[in-house]
Structure 1
């Protein structure tokens, strides 16, 4: 059976990729939606390659005859039998991905990122859509709060959706991770929630709870400096919601 180790590895990896991309939306935990076709093609190719490799190996061993020098051939074959056994160890992470796909990045990843630096400077932003509340991503709210010289958030009611993270001083935040391509390049954006009707900070939802917060911008610090980060939202409503299929904001 050791001869089939590489084939099984390809099958497990291919099946895991197909499971998260073709038969579910788990792939959104790792990459952007537009990469789904490439994942499906890659998974199918790995499965087909694994099956083809298994058939070729089985055929080759099935057609092998015995003749003069078989003993030497057998010894030669056994001397290489130990090599493919390593492939069995490589099937473990592939099998783990197939059976127990890891969760999306959450509060642990967000807390590992340092506060943003004001490297972009201060500038103007496009006008917000008419009507309140206006739906914003956490990243957009943060950018406008810290860098918008036109103060487009003043007097507007906004709605943000993200997961909860806690600060060391009793503060808590609505947080969201943004990606350009995949989870490997994720960066965190967050907004401090104040005045929530559930009695924050002691009544703050548990870490990693998904919420939608409605409220108004609470200016602080000097625009374009670290003192303006993280932005603050005076909440008038906090709702617990289900985690979205795509947990990341797109940059």
Structure 2
């Protein structure tokens, strides 16, 4: 490989990683929040390796130019002592994802993935915290589902709850409030959905905050209860910084 091609590719890849992890939070569209420091470290290592590889070649280029008075063709010496210029074509494939991240960062996963994904099974809760005595209760989709199907005290009976997520359209005008949850990165995402009733479907992938009450279906507090909501009001909101982190909406 030409001497300067390797450092250039490493620099390009390092710059792309730092662009989405150090200089912005775009990386949270692809990995969970805890991996961001590791991406920053990886980007810095790649940039450091690129500079370490480019510096000797640059000095060598300058010394040759000073000694010959012209710009030499720089190439790496081969095993026979002669210089060759061979660039494996496959190496340039490394530049493609780096250029994509530098010029156009793909969005986070949304309704297309959720509609084709296997639903996430909510784990059993050991106990539930006491809800506030009055007012709407902010809940994550995970806690809402767990309380509907596991809370024997039926704490959601008659209570107004507030949840946030993005819109996944269904058939016949039906739609779901959805969050995608990841264990590591977007590749292992699983969808968590709550069907919405009594309100027209907003456009797909719109992030919304909904207020409503449990839609009676099955026995509340048992596995027969359907985690669904009768929507009373809806507010469009901007996508959260961490789209794969299921948490209660801000007041």
Classify the TM-score, shorter chain: 0.7 to 0.9
Q: Which moved more, 1:121-130 or 1:161-170?
A: 121-130
Contact 1:134 1:157 in 2 (8 A): yes
Cα distance in 2 for partners of 1:233, 1:57 equals 65
2:211 is aligned with 1:214 = yes
**Alpha-carbon distance, 1:46 to partner:** 1.0
Alpha carbons of 1:82 and 1:115: their partners in 2 closer, same or farther (altered >3 Å)? closer
Aligned-partner Cα distance in 1 for 2:148–2:13: 44
TM-score in terms of structure 2 length: 0.80
* 8 A Cα contact 1:215 1:233, kept in partner: yes
Contact 1:215 1:235 in 2 (8 A): yes
Asked if the contact 1:123/1:149 (under 8 Å) is kept, the reply is no
SS of structure 2 residue aligned to 1:81: coil
User: Contact between 1:125 and 1:152, CA under 8 Å: does it hold in 2?
Assistant: no
1:16 — aligned with what?
16
Alpha-carbon contact 1:139-1:190 (below 8 Å) kept: no
Q: Residue 5 of structure 1 contacts residue 87 of structure 1 at CA under 8 Å; is this kept in 2?
A: no
Correspondence for 2:25: 25
Rounded Cα–Cα distance in structure 2 between residues aligned with 1:9 and 1:150: 60
Matched residue, 1:232: 228
How many aligned residue pairs are there?
234
- CA distance, structure 1, for counterparts of residue 246 and residue 4 of structure 2: 41
Shift of 1:88: 2.1
Contact 1:157 1:215 in 2 (8 A): yes
Asked whether the 8 Å contact 1:123–1:147 carries over to 2, the reply is no
**Distance in 2 (alpha carbons) for counterparts of 1:62 and 1:98:** 30
- Asked whether the equivalents of residues 18 and 39 of structure 1 are also in contact (C-alpha less than 8 Å), the reply is yes
Quote how far apart the aligned CAs of 1:235 are.
0.8
User: Is 1:175–2:178 an aligned residue pair?
Assistant: yes
SS at match of 1:90: helix
Q: How far 1:102 sits from its partner (Å)?
A: 1.1
Separation of aligned partners in 2, 1:115 and 1:86: 38
- In structure 2, what is the equivalent of residue 245 of structure 1? 241
